[in-house]
Structure 1
Amino acid sequence: MMKFISTNGDSEPVPFSEAVLKGLAPDGGLYVPDHWPALDEAFLTNIHDKSLQQIGVEVSRLFVDELDDDTLHSVIEEALNFDAPLVSIEDNLNILELFHGPTLAFKDFGARFMSRIFSAFRKNKEQDIVILAATSGDTGSAVAQGFLGVEGVKVCLLYPSGKVSRLQEQQLTTAGQNVTALEIDGTFDDCQQMVKQAFSDQELNEQLVLSSANSINIARLIPQSFYYLYALAQMEKTEQNPPVFCVPSGNFGNLTAGLMARKIGMPASGFIAATNVNDVVPEYLQTGSFNPRPSKRTISNAMDVGNPSNFARIEYLYNHDHEAIRRHIWGASFSDEQTADAIRSVKEKTGYLLDPHTAVGYLATEAYRREAAGYFGEPDDTPFVILSTAHPAKFGDVIEPVIGEKIPLPGRLAACLQKEKKSTHMDSDFGRLKAWLLEQY
């Protein structure tokens, strides 16, 4: 049976259901598998014949052994009822569009999978579970929609006041029903710290059943590994060279999911960690020193993270070996000015419109090909895959002045702008959050 252990090493191994419901291990660490299973070789050989849903079931089976096949199939089919197309924009340069879900962001994969998993594990339980999640933008709306109306689950979202786009704020504050938004005076890192303190607070955990929908929860990362393999499935069958994946990165859950896919057998030449000026991880890759610091606000706001939680998982995967990490990950960071220039130039050159986060990924890919080609030992004709994390319409206020034209707003985004924002304002004091939680739930 698969067990999950803490990156801090001071908690007992637990089954998947307990790791998911707890979110954070009792010792404050993040849950990781106690061993790494392997995908079937025949499955990888025939990956081109597999759908996203078939890949999801195959990968899930390796980690989730407490659900029967029918339930697992149902979870995947319900959660992943949208596509993730691979779009070629230049020779050997592809965009993996992860924004075709309900909230038009890649977070839909993890949130929808988690909500169905929670529902399956919470059947016949008397006490409601309370989901706590910090968001720098897209996580909040994805979690809100993914868990909306799910029986036995209450959702509490913490987001930094004035530091998410209007569309993102409208998406996460207008859900209603079992979803509450807390507008925090502070940064995303403040929100994330408050959530972590809640999971470590004995009194809260004695009175409430708390869990997290942030990427600190292992159930967020498992479904995010699906689409790396799905990218391979969409490539030409004659393609021999494993791709280099470029991942726009903030809290580093998305990149960690790719590393997990590699651990279970997915071919990959390497990974590019693309960040904005919040460059803690690229700096670590260069110097070997990890120095968390307050995040800086940028136009790629979902990546405004100064102390990425999932770095602990990355270190664990590589036994805290800096050189081993560097062999598989190359990093680069870029300014808002460079990001805006990339959006403009790619639109003019190819007609393809990048959101600010994907633009950072494009810049990192071009920098790698220009400055570090062959770093991973890959041949010249190796394909690159940039993970596109959000629909550009979610960032019209940033993009439209750059390209000089209006971006058509998808219907589901237009609808949320007409709804009334409902949030509870709070300063970044854990005591206030604790008192509020005990009063509300």
Structure 2
Amino acid sequence: MAIEHVAVRKLSEQYSAIRSLSEKLALKLQSEDTIIQAMPDVSPPKWHLAHTTWFFERFILREKDESYVPYNPQFDYLFNSYYEKIGSYHPRHSRGVLSRPSMEEVYAYRQHVNDAILHLLDQYHDQPPQEIYDLIEIGLQHEQQHQELLLTDVKYNFSCNPLLPKFAETNSAKRSPLKTETAFIDIEGGLVEIGFEGPGFSFDNERPRHKVYLEPYRLASHPVTNGEYIAFIEAGGYDQPEHWLSDGWATVKKEKWKHPLYWRKTEDGWYTFTLTGEKKLNLDEPVCHVSFYEADAFARWSGKRLPTEAEWEHACERLDHAGNFVENEVYHPTAEEEQTHSSIKKAYGDVWEWTSSPYTSYPRSQPLEGALGEYNAKFMCNQIVLRGGSCATSKTHIRPAYRNFFQADKRWQFSGLRLAEDKA
């Protein structure tokens, strides 16, 4: 993580720009919206704003700035997420009971920490020691992760309200969708390398770059669409156990799943809830809000499979990062196709793509030292890797080696799928 390669602009400017996006998103909400936690997996927007601030305060200011005075020492308990090495923390499932501090105080907390960080950078003329630079950079990457979580969590919270509130007004795609049929692209495989290498930021779970042997395979040119997924539903896919993993079938029966999250069937056809309100389902958009179980079942029903994460990265690592990201302010996967010459389309943005790979460490991988070692490594159990980013991801946050991960039953994220198959 060398400074001269990472900073396109001054670190203080990067800090202010990324931090301000969180507030820009939150300002679209009413005060009453900011405390809701409709299920344990989501967090209230107010908590996201405070926790990302706590991260800078706890790991940088309290450790590296002797002159820093904490805004409120009790926040060290309230807004620690899961760092056991630091100390105890407020239970995740109870974040929605925190009516205090108020949003006004949370914004004051953010300003207090922002002022202290910018003052620290000013002391070093925007060129702090490498250790402080690296901590600020991981804090900014962490903030971008929570910006995406803020959007997915707000969407789930709003979907539980019979009024189906809008987070934002519709920002329609500027280009007409291209009606391109899905094709399967031949990829030779062989002994390849995956993982992050070179200048720039990466999380510890993306390193080191290492060799993997891949049999020849074929990867779909496009993510699976809503129309393709409806064919699975109408063929009785949710009622046929032969397509499902055992745990997946048990989950389908327990949860009574019949379609992706946020879908609703009416006499007029399918509708879906979005961050810009409920709308008629566009059959050409990538299907999203499906679990790994659903993605895997669809692939089996189709006579295909999900790609491994190594296959996905090998096929997509040299592609343009053009796509539908949070900067587009659409907040929903679109049918429009980026104008690239690649045969593999929409790999980045729109929807995270489930792979078949369990989330485990790479060979010779080393977690970060200290409490930050808990950032990724402690979750390497019972989770599945997703790749590519979504419409809620920042374009500056994603990269080919980026590994997202969730449990197999989770579907409140913008998660979709792309099919693969063995090459004959």
Note whether the superposition's TM-score is higher than 0.5: no
Query: Between Structure 1 and Structure 2, whose CA radius of gyration is higher?
Result: 2
Question: Relative to total residues, which structure has the larger helix share, 1 or 2?
Answer: 1
TM-score (structure 1 length as normaliser): 0.25
